[in-house]
Structure 1
């Protein structure tokens, strides 16, 4: 029932970040059960609070125009191609699952071409996939990472519905799907990647242009949305009846920004693992970097700097995971390898008392951590602070998911169990350079911070937390909008426009997410509840996925479908009291190896503050035997 060491292929953190949501699949599982309570999974309950407008259901339509859409006109917009794709001619594959796609029209174009103040060429490049048999719905798929790419390849595109291992997607379900690069692409010619590794800073230097920053934050969505709806009208003879935005990670941030800025344009919004305080979370990254380098026991041979990968081994983190399970697994009434009561676990587990300290001279061996390691973990989970003790981001909840490949890959830079590997800055300079170029005002000098040289690592080692707030809130005459302004919702707990027109918001977040803190999302939701007389559940709900790391993975039931639940809520008024999550195979999710969680196990995913509780009888692998009380 508890994790044991396992080996999985080491992944490059930069690639994981760049594709963090685009690589996430989705499962068209039983998200919509019958009416009534939230028992076993997939049930719907009546919304609480005052009655809100009920939006009408979308009506189907047929594609009327495709190749003629090259003549489509919209301000500052050029259509470069429009072509028909036959049914089953294109497939989409993720996590070993391949989907055949329906007949549709592919439209490629760009908006707002310009030359930036950095002398580089910019435009909002986009692609739309318009199904021949249309549901009457618009699906705006927003990207993860730092954007800068269009999800046109067959492993990413066509309306990702999030969660692990897809069994369907937006295009298959009849949505008209939009994707874009959010207004920038890597400037690889100007800032070439390291020849030995292929990695570099080219994907982040758009931060040198203030308009590119703004497009990335929110302005690209503002330009694309009316254009996409107009193009849909040209293709089908009418605009969409219902419009949805779906994204995770940075895409979840896009979605939460849209809920505040573009409430009139979207009827349903799904925000997964949202980094809506993304600039603050980059401060947390630098905090983690310095702490883990301080706990390092080796020097990285490439950079001649402390090797983060040597701070904690897989054995070390598995030991901590097992200690969390020992204190928290049974809190939900079932000993099953999943910590469902994440709030209760924060009181039940104590790093100081429940994790043994190695004796002087004793190396950590799976039965203890050194005092240096324990101090580092305590500071890491407490979140970043300045010298006056002021919190600069959120803290993080203790869960057993910290042994997972995603958690370790992000924090220590290795996902294998060997205890050695490349320093995580060799794996990913993207996190550090994003903080330096996009979320700092003024941005760092890219002619100094290039490639994989020690200057990049020294920047993070010397990051001054007393200046951190000034960097993310700062402006200059050239950069007149701070990163906190262009990246975050302008008033995160004021969603009255979305609420009052009958639109809905669903947020989901893994409790073991190492990129964006689950606690930060819950703090936001508590604020939203307070702004709505203590209950926002009639238009917005947050679901936790116990043990899940960033967007998917971890010892969890991370295959789910919130999109179907969202559509039912928006168009039929059936509020989701639970959505079924399913555990994937170890081949699909390597973190399942040794977890004691069998493939195919189901659990109800519950809206906060509820969590699944065992009824006391029946299989632990069947969602029907759990309730969301």
Structure 2
């Protein structure tokens, strides 16, 4: 059993460690929330901005909610910066700590409840008695709303230090601070420390495992954007290709078009796992089998087939962006029936949100992030829907895509340096592995934002480095049909956090995990039962039908 002590966490050489009080407090009775102040909390460099005792509710236990800040400074762009955070300390503490890694561009302190991911919104770490930390990653995403409009959330990218805090420094600062607060409040150190997040939050988890490998015992990582700057270049490719079909990107691919592609994938791949059930479980075999050209409309036909120009666009998108020499700038993508999911449309085609002009999320947050955070030097963009989509349309992928690796002047770290795990190309996570750490990753095969194939390729490199035994400390669970973090025609309700905890604390290596359709996910295909369950298998195993009830996970085995 692995125990992380406050003294061990203080061994990490970070700004956060330097801010802590050097005096170690002895064990004492648990503090009350009413006692909390900057002075009584006793962590140098941390200012308490508010505290309140929160009564027990139907979903959360009674707890002390502390809001605070640290690392205050004035940026080179003239704006005020700080790391704002919230830590919730349950009255009936289970003795452990969860760092909630948030998604998107961060920029706000999401309530520190510790969502345990998948499509189930009810499971939380706080609800299970964990002390939970959440932060804004060192910048206020709404501070420049009046000036920057829709580009405000990424305007922090004009300040080089804010970029670094977003990428990795905030976690380095807050990890020892959070553990010291827990120690001072409860009079004891957390027994086990976990990091949990999806999307950018999953990226935070992978970066932290590489940079602070001995500070956490386990990570639950969903749909990780660990190559986020590369994925941002993909946004430009998507918009340019889709706009070639229609100058109004929102009319480029209809729901019917995407359903036709999903039907073609199912026609080619559905039976590869032993059962035609409108779900492709054997993703690898499908990539070798499916050829969209086999479903292109012959001359003179327009019904029940894919228009040739749309097939070409989808092939280019699925191949990923290339530099001027034809080398990949990101990754290719898996063909999956989840392309019919509404989240795929929301990210790539149309959001339906009026202030965004109805444009997809990649043409709003994605565009401003590529311009202001992920390329060097940054480009200050106006925050109108028109200007943001035009930036992507005008972005020279072949010649300027390598700006994600650039450094210039005061921007001494490239986007790839501050956003990605230091060992992303050759993953080893030595300190994390040697300390007995465990990680579970899940990724929707039909994720429209971060390529599932990119995650698989990372895992294969890790497995090579550990001579085929990476699964001794890292498990990857593909989720067929699932879009970004949840949703899509998929069984997207699963509890991998419990499996992680059991692995970390009891040594029980996770195997198959049962998944169901999350409440509120109305995207199942018409031939699915609403009670359908499926087994999620650790990669490279595949859930194969063995006979019996086709709607039950018990009829499948991982092989």
Normalised by the size of structure 1, how large is the TM-score? 0.81
Distance 1:350 1:428, change over 3 A: closer
Matching residue of 2:311: 374
Matching residue of 2:223: 273
Aligned partners of 1:358 and 1:369 also within 8 Å: no
Matches for 1:89-238 after TM superposition, within 5 Å: 99-152=58-111, 157-189=112-144, 191-192=146-147, 200-238=150-188
C-alpha distance in structure 2 between counterparts of 1:560 and 1:426, whole Å = 26
Distance 1:427 1:323, change over 3 A: closer
Superimposed CA distance per residue, residues 332-352 of structure 1 (whole angstroms, 9 cap, x where no aligned partner)? 111111110010101121111
Q: Secondary structure at the match of 1:110?
A: strand
TM-fit CA distance, 1:465: 1.6
Aligned mate of 1:314, from 252, 255, 258: 255
Work out whether 1:66 is the aligned partner of 2:33. yes
Work out whether 1:466 is the aligned partner of 2:413. no
Matching residue of 2:241: 291
Q: Secondary structure at the match of 1:596?
A: coil
Segments of structure 2 that go 5 or more residues without pairing to the other structure are 6-27
Matching residue of 1:35: none
Segments of structure 1 that go 5 or more residues without pairing to the other structure are 1-53, 89-98, 195-199, 297-305
Q: How many residues align?
A: 531
Distance 1:340 1:604, change over 3 A: same
C-alpha distance in structure 1 between counterparts of 2:526 and 2:230, whole Å = 32
Work out whether 1:621 is the aligned partner of 2:556. no
Aligned mate of 2:2, from 45, 55, 59: 55
Matching residue of 1:600: 531
Aligned partners of 2:363 and 2:392 also within 8 Å: no
Between the two structures, name the one with larger relative contact order (CA 8 Å, sep ≥ 6): 1
C-alpha distance in structure 1 between counterparts of 2:204 and 2:523, whole Å = 28
C-alpha distance in structure 1 between counterparts of 2:402 and 2:361, whole Å = 28
TM-fit CA distance, 1:313: 0.7
Matching residue of 2:336: 399
Work out whether 1:532 is the aligned partner of 2:466. yes
Distance 1:238 1:324, change over 3 A: same
Matching residue of 1:79: 48
Matching residue of 1:522: 456
State the superposition RMSD in angstroms.
Answer: 2.0
Matching residue of 1:583: 517
More helix by share: 2
Aligned partners of 2:321 and 2:331 also within 8 Å: yes
Distance 1:411 1:62, change over 3 A: farther
Distance 1:604 1:190, change over 3 A: closer
TM-fit CA distance, 1:124: 0.4
TM-fit CA distance, 1:100: 2.2
Aligned partners of 1:584 and 1:600 also within 8 Å: no
Distance 1:56 1:112, change over 3 A: closer
Normalised by the size of structure 2, how large is the TM-score? 0.91
Superimposed CA distance per residue, residues 190-209 of structure 1 (whole angstroms, 9 cap, x where no aligned partner)? 64465xxxxx1111100001
C-alpha distance in structure 2 between counterparts of 1:557 and 1:141, whole Å = 24
Work out whether 1:246 is the aligned partner of 2:196. yes
C-alpha distance in structure 1 between counterparts of 2:85 and 2:510, whole Å = 32
Distance 1:114 1:607, change over 3 A: same
Matches for 1:358-373 after TM superposition, within 5 Å: 358-359=298-299, 364-365=302-303, 367-373=304-310
TM-fit CA distance, 1:422: 5.0
Matching residue of 2:416: 484
C-alpha distance in structure 2 between counterparts of 1:595 and 1:344, whole Å = 25
Superimposed CA distance per residue, residues 306-344 of structure 1 (whole angstroms, 9 cap, x where no aligned partner)? 111111111111011111111111111111111100101
TM-fit CA distance, 1:462: 1.4
C-alpha distance in structure 1 between counterparts of 2:361 and 2:554, whole Å = 46
Aligned partners of 2:52 and 2:65 also within 8 Å: yes
Superimposed CA distance per residue, residues 329-385 of structure 1 (whole angstroms, 9 cap, x where no aligned partner)? 1111111111100101011211111x132535x6x54x1222211110110111111
C-alpha distance in structure 2 between counterparts of 1:627 and 1:432, whole Å = 42
